[in-house]
C-alpha cells in the first residue's frame, strides 16, 4: 500500500516498492492530475531507477498519457520542465537514501510538489481502484527524448546569476547521482574553475561515502587542492551544502543566512522575512533578529517552506539540510540554483566563504541522532514526554526536537545546547527513553 511521506513515496526497491506499484501510481496520477500534455519523467542513478522510470512511462501510457524522458536528471530539472510545459512531472529517486531504496516525487503542472489534498486523493484512488500491472502491459513504451529540455534547464539555471567567477576555484561533489549530468557547465559559464569528484555512477555508489550526507569527502578534496570552497550535492541534486577553504562545513542555515543578509543589503528581501523549518539552528534565529530580519518557521519539508513563501510573497527560505528555495528562480529546492546564488555572493563581495559564514551567523552546538524504529509502533505520547523532559533539563539554554522521519523508519532527535557535550548527553538520554 503506497503512502506519501515528507517527500513523495519511498521504500526499499523490489521489496517495499515494486514496479507494479509504480505503474499503478502513474495511472492514479493521470486520473487525479489530468495532464494536458506529456508528463516529464526524470531519474537518479540507482540500479532500480531505469526500471521504475519505465514503469512510470508504462503506467501513463496505458491510460493514453504520453511522456518525455529526461533520463538521469536532478529533481528540480523535472520541476522546471513540468512548469515550462504546463504538465505534471515525476522523478524517480530516494534522494539521500542508500542505493537500495527508491521512490517517486510527483509535481503538478505548475512545477510544484503535490499538496496534502492531492496526495490524499492519490492514495484514495490507489486504494479504491483495480489497476493494470507492469506484467500485463508487456514491454515499456517508447517515450520522447528530453535531452534538449535538460540542456535548456541548465541554461536557464546559469542565467539566474551574472557574476565574474574567474579566479574562483571550486570542488564539486556530484555524489555519483543526478548532479553528474548538470555539473560543471552552469558554473563554468561564469568562469569558475571547477573540479568535479564522485561523478562515475555505478548504480550502487550513489551517496556512498560522498555527497551532502558526507561533506567531509569534499572537504578533504578542497584542502588537498587548495581550492576556495567546495559544494556537495545529494543524490537527486535538489539540495547542496558547502565547505570553506579550510574544509569547514557551511550548512543550509548558513547559506540562507548569507543570502538573506546579502539580499537585505540590496533591498531584495521582501518584508525583510525568511522562511525556515523547526530544524533550523537557534543561532540563525538570533542572527536574523540582530539584523532586523523576521523568521517564519514551518514543519520539516520544503513543501511547507514553499507554501509559507507563497502565502507571504517572500523571496527566500529553506532547510538546514541544504534545500533552499528562491521562489523567483525555482519552484522547489534546487541545489544548482543555490550553488550559483552562493557563488554570486562570494564573487561579488570578494570575501572568503569562511568570512561570509562567520559574518552571517554563529551556530549554536547542535547534534542529530537517529533511532531506528518500526513506524507502526511509534508512540507519540512517549515521544512528547521524552522531548518535554529533555527540554526541562536544558531550560532556556537550548532546544530539543523529537520527530518521526518522513523518509526513513527512524525517529530524529535534534538537541541544541551551549556546548556539544551537553547536547550529546541530552540526545543520548532521549534516544534511550524512546528506544527501549
Residues 351 and 261 in one domain: yes
pLDDT at residue number 128? 67
Residues 133 and 233 in one domain: no
Write out the three cell numbers for 58: 508504462
- Which 8-state DSSP code applies to residue 170? E
Q: Is residue 103 part of a domain?
A: yes
Q: Judge contact between 173 and 211, C-beta under 8 A.
A: yes
Q: Is residue 225 part of a domain?
A: yes
Quick one: which H or E segment has residue 307? helix 302-312
Q: Render 346-397 in DSSP notation, one character per residue.
A: HHHHT--HHHHHHHH--PPPEEEEEEE--GGG--HHHHHHHHHHHHHHHGGG
Q: Is residue 354 part of a domain?
A: yes
Q: Is residue 383 part of a domain?
A: yes
147 in active site: no
Residues 192 and 120 in one domain: no
Contacts of 64 (CB under 8 A, 6+ apart): none
Residues 144 and 206 in one domain: no
Residues 179 and 99 in one domain: no
How many Å apart are CA 131 and CA 149, to the nearest integer?
31
Residues 112 and 14 in one domain: yes
Q: Judge contact between 237 and 179, C-beta under 8 A.
A: yes
pLDDT at residue number 370? 86
Coarse DSSP helix, strand, coil percentages of the chain, rounded to the nearest 5 percent: 45, 20, 35
Residue 241's SS3 state is strand
Residues 57 and 129 in one domain: yes
Q: Give the ranges where 197-298 is alpha helix by DSSP (H).
A: 216-225, 252-266, 282-291
pLDDT at residue number 129? 60
Residues 27 and 133 in one domain: yes
Q: Judge contact between 151 and 186, C-beta under 8 A.
A: no
Please name every residue paired with 5 in a beta bridge, in sequence order, or none if there are none. Answer: 8
Residues 120 and 225 in one domain: no
Residues 55 and 121 in one domain: yes
Q: Judge contact between 148 and 161, C-beta under 8 A.
A: no
**Considering the entire predicted model, what is its pTM?**
0.89
Q: Is residue 2 part of a domain?
A: no
Residues 330 and 350 in one domain: yes
Judge if the upstream peptide bond of residue 184 is cis by omega within 30 degrees of 0. Answer: yes
Residue pLDDT tens, the chain, 436 long: 677 876 789 999 999 999 999 999 999 999 999 999 999 999 999 999 999 999 999 999 999 999 999 999 999 999 999 999 999 999 999 999 999 999 999 999 999 999 888 888 888 888 766 665 655 455 556 689 999 999 999 999 999 999 999 999 999 999 999 999 999 999 999 999 999 999 999 999 999 999 999 999 999 999 999 999 999 999 999 999 999 999 999 999 999 999 999 999 999 999 999 999 998 998 999 999 999 999 999 998 888 999 999 999 999 999 999 999 999 999 999 999 999 999 999 999 999 999 999 999 999 988 888 888 776 666 777 777 878 888 888 887 788 888 887 767 888 888 998 889 988 988 888 888 776 5
pLDDT at residue number 4? 81
Residues 177 and 217 in one domain: yes
Buried b (16+ CB within 10 A) or exposed e, 342-360: bbbbbbeeeeebbebbeeb
Which entry of 87, 93, 95, 178 is annotated as an active-site residue? Answer: 95
Quick one: which H or E segment has residue 106? strand 101-107
Q: Is residue 269 part of a domain?
A: yes
Q: Is residue 4 part of a domain?
A: no
Domain boundary among 360, 387, 406: 360
How many domains does the chain divide into? 4
Q: Residue 70 is part of which domain span?
A: 9-151
Domain boundary among 151, 180, 209: 151
Q: How many helices (H) and strands (E) does the chain have?
A: 15, 18
CATH number for 37: 3.40.120.10
Q: Judge contact between 233 and 173, C-beta under 8 A.
A: yes
Domain boundary among 213, 248, 283: 248
Residue entry with cell 520522447? 144
Q: Is residue 3 part of a domain?
A: no
CATH number for 427: 3.30.310.50
- Which 8-state DSSP code applies to residue 272? G
How many Å apart are CA 251 and CA 267, to the nearest integer?
24
Amino acid at each position: 500500500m503506497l503512502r506519501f511521506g515528507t517527500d513523495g513515496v519511498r521504500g526499499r526497491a523490489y521489496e517495499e516498492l515494486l514496479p507494479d506499484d509504480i505503474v499503478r501510481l502513474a495511472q492514479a496520477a493521470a486520473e487525479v492530475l489530468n495532464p494536458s500534455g506529456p508528463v516529464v519523467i526524470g531519474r537518479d542513478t540507482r540500479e532500480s531507477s531505469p526500471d521504475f522510470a519505465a514503469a512510470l512511462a508504462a503506467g501513463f501510457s496505458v491510460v493514453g498519457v504520453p511522456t518525455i524522458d529526461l533520463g538521469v536528471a536532478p529533481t528540480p530539472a523535472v520541476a522546471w520542465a513540468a512548469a515550462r510545459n504546463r504538465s505534471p512531472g515525476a522523478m524517480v529517486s530516494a534522494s539521500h537514501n542508500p542505493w537500495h531504496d527508491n521512490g517517486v516525487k510527483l509535481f503538478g503542472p505548475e512545477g510544484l510538489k503535490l499538496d496534502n489534498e492531492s496526495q490524499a486523493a492519490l492514495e484514495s484512488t490507489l486504494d479504491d481502484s483495480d489497476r493494470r500491472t507492469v506484467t500485463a502491459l508487456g514491454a515499456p513504451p517508447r517515450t520522447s527524448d528530453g535531452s534538449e529540455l535538460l540542456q535548456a534547464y541548465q541554461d536557464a539555471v546559469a542565467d539566474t546569476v551574472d557574476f565574474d567567477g574567474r579566479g574562483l576555484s571550486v570542488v564539486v561533489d556530484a555524489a555519483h547521482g543526478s548532479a553528474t549530468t548538470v555539473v560543471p557547465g552552469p558554473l563554468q559559464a561564469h568562469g569558475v574553475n571547477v573540479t568535479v569528484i564522485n561523478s562515475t555512477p555505478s548504480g550502487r555508489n550513489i551517496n556512498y561515502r560522498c555527497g551532502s550526507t558526507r561533506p567531509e569527502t569534499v572537504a578533504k578534496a578542497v584542502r588537498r587542492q587548495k581550492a576556495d570552497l567546495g559544494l556537495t550535492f545529494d543524490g537527486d541534486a535538489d539540495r547542496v551544502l558547502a565547505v570553506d577553504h579550510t574544509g569547514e562545513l557551511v550548512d543550509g542555515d548558513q547559506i540562507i543566512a548569507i543570502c538573506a543578509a546579502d539580499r537585505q543589503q540590496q533591498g531584495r528581501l521582501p518584508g525583510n522575512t525568511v522562511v525556515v523549518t523547526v530544524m533550523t539552528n537557534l543561532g540563525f534565529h538570533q542572527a536574523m533578529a540582530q539584523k532586523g530580519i523576521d523568521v517564519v518557521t514551518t514543519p520539516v519539508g520544503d513543501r511547507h517552506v514553499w507554501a509559507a513563501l507563497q502565502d507571504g510573497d517572500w523571496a527566500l527560505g529553506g532547510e538546514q539540510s541544504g534545500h533552499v528555495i528562491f521562489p523567483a528562480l525555482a519552484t522547489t529546492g534546487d541545489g544548482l540554483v543555490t550553488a550559483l546564488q552562493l557563488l554570486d555572493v562570494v564573487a561579488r563581495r570578494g570575501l572568503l566563504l569562511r568570512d561570509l559564514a562567520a559574518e552571517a551567523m554563529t551556530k549554536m552546538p547542535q547534534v542529530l541522532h537517529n533511532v531506528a524504529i518500526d513506524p507502526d509502533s511509534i508512540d507519540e505520547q512517549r515521544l512528547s514526554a521524552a522531548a518535554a523532559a529533555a527540554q526541562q533539563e536544558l531550560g532556556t539554554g537550548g532546544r530539543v526536537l523529537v520527530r518521526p522521519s518522513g523518509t526513513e523508519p527512524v525517529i530524529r532527535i535534534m538537541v541544541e545546547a551551549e556546548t556539544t557535550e551537553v547536547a550529546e548527553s541530552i540526545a543520548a538520554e532521549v534516544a534511550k527513553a524512546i528506544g527501549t
